Amino acid sequence: MSSSVHLFRDQRYQELKGQCLQQGILFEDPEFPASDESLYYDSAAKGKVEWKRPKDLCEDPHLLVDGMSSHDFHQGKLGNCWFVAACSCLALRKSLWQQVIPDSNEQEWDPKSPRKYAGIFRFRFWRFGEWTEVVVDDQLPTENGELIYCRSNVRNEFWSALLEKAYAKLAGSYQALDGGCAAEALVDFTGAVAESINLEEGKYGEVISEQMKLFEDLMKVHKRGGFISCSISESPGRPSEAETGTGLIVGHAYSVTAIRKLRLGESLVFSFKAEKLFMIRLRNPWGKKEWHGAWSDSSEEWKKVSDSERKSLGLTVGNDGEFWTGSCRVWLWAMKKAGHDGNSKSQAGLELLCSPAPSFSRHRMTFEDWCKNFTDVDICRTVNTSCFSLHKTWEKEMIYGAWAKHPEPLLNRSGGCFDNRETFLQNPQYLFDVKKAQDKVLVSLQQEDRRKYKKEGKGDNITIGFEILKVEDNRRYRLHKLTVQERVATSPYSNTRSVFLRRTLQQGRYVLVPTTYIPGVPTKFILRLYTDVPSKLRELKADRPKMTCWSLLCGYPRRVTQIKVHSAEGLQKQDRSGGADPYVLIKCENQSRRSPVQHDTTSPVFNTQVIFYRKDIDSPVTIQVWNSNLLRDQFLGQAVLAASPGEPREQQRLKLRGRGGGEAAEVPGHISVTVLCSDDLGEL
């Protein structure tokens, strides 16, 4: 057992199995007994259920039969299509499902040694930042001798039913799995980061170019080992599990099991008239129900797909008896003609194909219709953090945190979203650095799974999100007032378990503020940040510099000063092209901060921010402008500021002067700054 794996309820698989084998009994799990309390959190939902072991349901039971496939199981009576859809995705990646079902061969039934079977299994889930091992017995809920929940279409295969039981144990009961998001289970299976896209809000049904970008993004995610599912949300007049006029199911998760590109017909060398199919395969966890459309077995459209392309995919049209018989496969594709305008609707044509049992019939749905019919897409990205990979490697930082309510404002850590301006900065705050000129940043904020609270009536997810603020390059203490800081990114606010944001940020220092939408809602969360180079993510806890014995001897700060240098203009030309390579140097007492160099300009935009905690309040702040040179930098001018609390708080345009005091000679150029001061060190 790896020390990095947490044991749920402190149950040790090997010890429990050894005890059962020694006593010659089958394991009965006291932490998740074969009783109604494991089935329901709501006493009114009770039904007539009989618990049976696999040996009582079939001969020669197995955990896996001929490996794991994305189409060898069905949902059952529980409303957890989201979980089953996630299982479909998991089955596509052997390396990943082997993490979820560790040592599957060792857990398998051995018909030659029946005495080695103890009726105990173990599964692992990535839960709240760590792998958690869950032990279950093999007693499963049945009615009339049939499994009532998730089951394989191979009668003697039980991995899906046992995996579902382990997941229900984590949630507190089977009923607690009723309703959810496929991305939640996929994160629990893999440790991936989840992103949800609302197709209606993004207007993907209207903008063809956005449809094509989405398809390319989905294909990239799938190629890199990620997972995708889609669904139709409930709305007035469109209740959950209702069937639309086109055969799709409302509130139902469809898993993506493949994404391919195909040529239409036999294309010729140097031909610009070739058409392509962009194909995405989806699966209905019910094993039935399909989109109604025009691409039937004998349709003329199939003649556009060459025999070689069909063979490469393993596709045939007709009663071919393929191994997914009995399941529902949905295929989507887009047809794109070379030379068409990127915004032309004639460029879009995504086709949706379904395969009912026993034949493999296919039906058509344009991608535009797909975007209009499906409302939500969940994407789980497996972010590569391996140092030994040939592909892009991300630097990962992860921090555990919590929103905690407290009557004292300085101690409160549940201030609500940005709209709550008076309390927003009372949330937890996390500092990180972008060290490159530009860096793509991935952020995932995940709240704790609240299904275990359903019995208490508190099982709904909380609406969460986060803000990213550009702050002073040398900030070390918590923000108390939004002044010179720039709000550079806002995540979606959602009641899903996690929210995700991708954003390219400029070099500098940032504060990330995770929030609940409403103030005063306590819960735990984990924050994950991925960057190209280490970001040194850390929580800001202190409100001001700490008073120490050393500070009593050397002096304690008496004033805090914020300075933002916005830009400069009219600087003296320094090179033959008539430009310069300026940067600013901000000095205060024995501290200084330098901005990045702005190249080939005499009107640079700096947007550089600094903060100083000043002991000698009579010592001025000096802002110098320099020109960067290979051998020796050249001084271009400066502005000297008293920086006292009584000075204007608005942006100022200052004339640059030479070295010396306020009476120094003027030099070409102006500089625009904002200066804020306070003798209350906790104000800024």
- Has residue 39 been placed in a domain? yes
Are 394 and 442 in contact, with CB atoms under 8 Å apart? yes
Q: Tens of pLDDT along 136-184?
A: 999 999 999 999 999 998 999 999 999 999 999 999 999 999 988 888 9
* Neighbour-count burial for 155-191, b at 16+ CB within 10 Å, e otherwise: bebbbbbbbbbbbbbbbbbbbbbbebbbbbbbbbbbb
Whether residue 670 is predicted with pLDDT greater than 80 in this model: the reply is yes
Q: How far apart are CA 667 and CA 657, in angstroms?
A: 5
pLDDT of residue 287: 61
The conformation of residue 370, written as its DSSP 8-state character, comes to H
Residues 265 and 197 grouped into a single domain: yes
Q: What percent of the chain has pLDDT over 70?
A: 83
Domain-ending residue, one of 141, 156, 190: 190
Higher confidence at residue 373 or residue 634? 634
Query: Is there a domain that residue 390 lies in?
Result: no
Is residue 604 over pLDDT 80?
A: yes
pLDDT reported for residue 334: 38
Question: Is residue 250 over pLDDT 90?
Answer: no
Q: What H or E segment, with its residue span, contains residue 576?
A: none
Task: Choose one of 325, 348, 381: the last residue of a domain.
Answer: 381
Catalytic residue of the set 20, 71, 80, 81: 81
Residue 614, beta-bridge partner list = 559
Residue 87 contacts residue 188 (beta carbons within 8 Å) = no
Whether residue 20 sits in one domain with residue 128: yes
Judged against a pLDDT cut of 70, whether residue 245 lies above it is answered with: yes
Q: Which of 230-244, 249-263, 345-359 has the lowest mean pLDDT?
A: 345-359
Whether residue 2 is predicted with pLDDT greater than 60 in this model: the reply is no
Bridge partners for 229 per DSSP: 255, 378
Report H helices in 491-587. 549-554
pLDDT score, position 314: 54
- What residue numbers bound the domain in which 431 lies? 395-540
**Residues 435, 561 share a domain:** no
Query: In this predicted model, what pLDDT tens digit does every residue of 522-568 receive, in sequence order?
Result: 999 999 999 999 999 999 999 999 888 777 777 899 999 999 999 99
- Which of 80, 284, 373, 427 is flagged as catalytic? 284
Looking at the structure, do residues 321 and 356 belong to the same domain, yes or no? yes
Tell me if 210 is assigned to some domain. yes
* Residue 319 banded pLDDT, cuts 50, 70, 90: very low
Query: 323 phi and psi, to 5 degrees?
Result: -75, -10
- Residue 110 corresponds to which tokens in the numbers above? 């051995």
Residues 139 and 153 in one domain: yes
In this structure, are 199 and 109 located in the same domain? no
Pair (514, 572) in one structural domain: no
From 236-245, 407-416, 612-621, the region with the lowest mean pLDDT: 236-245
141-155, 381-395, 436-450, 568-582: lowest mean pLDDT where?
Answer: 381-395
Percentage of residues of the chain with pLDDT beyond 90: 55
DSSP state of 113: -
Residue 212 makes CB contacts below 8 A (sequence gap 6+) with 334, 336, 342, 347, 348
pLDDT value of residue 550: 78
Question: Is 526 domain-assigned?
Answer: yes
Work out the angle between the directed axes of helices 81-90 and 159-171 (0-180°, nearest 10): 130
Average pLDDT over residues 426-454: 95
Which of 183, 151, 195, 189 is closest to 167 using CA atoms? 189
Average pLDDT of the residues in 206-235: 85
Residue 588: CB atoms within 10 A of its CB come to: 22
* pLDDT above 80 for 607: yes
Q: Give mean pLDDT, residues 289-298.
A: 46
**CATH number, domain containing residue 586:** 2.60.40.150
Our answer to whether residue 427 is catalytic in this structure is no
The verdict on 499 and 601 lying in the same domain is no
- Give 322-365 pLDDT, tens digit per residue: 222 222 334 444 333 333 333 333 333 333 333 333 222 233 34
CA distances from 423 to 426, 428, 480, 527 (A): 5, 11, 10, 21
Structure tokens at 472: 């002073």
In the chain, the number of structural domains is: 4
Tell me the C-alpha to C-alpha distance, in Å, between residue 188 and each of 73, 90, 380, 431, 514.
19, 11, 11, 27, 21
Element (H, E) at 669: strand 666-678
Q: Is residue 550 part of a domain?
A: no
Q: Are residues 571 and 469 in the same domain?
A: no
Sorting pLDDT into bands at 50, 70 and 90, what band is 70? confident
Tell me, yes or no, if 81 is annotated catalytic: yes
Asked if 673 and 652 count as a contact pair (C-beta separation under 8 A), the reply is yes
Give a yes or no: residue 548 inside a domain. Answer: no
Same structural domain, 186 and 204: no
Do residues 497 and 181 touch, judged by C-beta distance below 8 A? yes
Q: Is residue 424 part of a domain?
A: yes
252 is catalytic: yes
**At how many degrees (to 10) do helices 182-190 and 81-90 cross?**
40
Q: What is the pLDDT of residue 326?
A: 24
CA atoms within 13 A on the CB side of 497: 23
First to last CA, the chain: 49
Last residue of a domain, one of 173, 190, 207: 190
Whether residues 348 and 427 share a domain: the answer is: no
Of 252, 363, 461, 677, the catalytic one is 252
- Residue 614 belongs to some domain of the structure: yes
Whether residue 358 is preceded by a cis peptide bond, meaning omega within 30 degrees of 0, is yes
pLDDT tens per residue, range 460-496:
999 999 999 999 999 999 999 998 889 999 999 999 9
Mean pLDDT across 238-257: 79
CATH number reported for the structural domain that contains residue 437 in this entry: 2.60.120.380
For the domain that residue 278 is a member of, what is the CATH number? 3.90.70.10
Residue 678 pLDDT grade (very low, low, confident, very high; cuts 50, 70, 90)? very high
d(CA 483, CA 343) in angstroms, rounded, equals: 42
pLDDT score of 216: 86
The torsion angle over the Cα atoms of residues 652, 658, 660 and 662, rounded to 10 degrees, is -40
Residue with the bigger pLDDT between 332 and 197: it is 197
- Indicate whether 184 and 202 sit together in one domain: no
508: left (phi over 0), alpha (psi -120 to 50) or beta: left
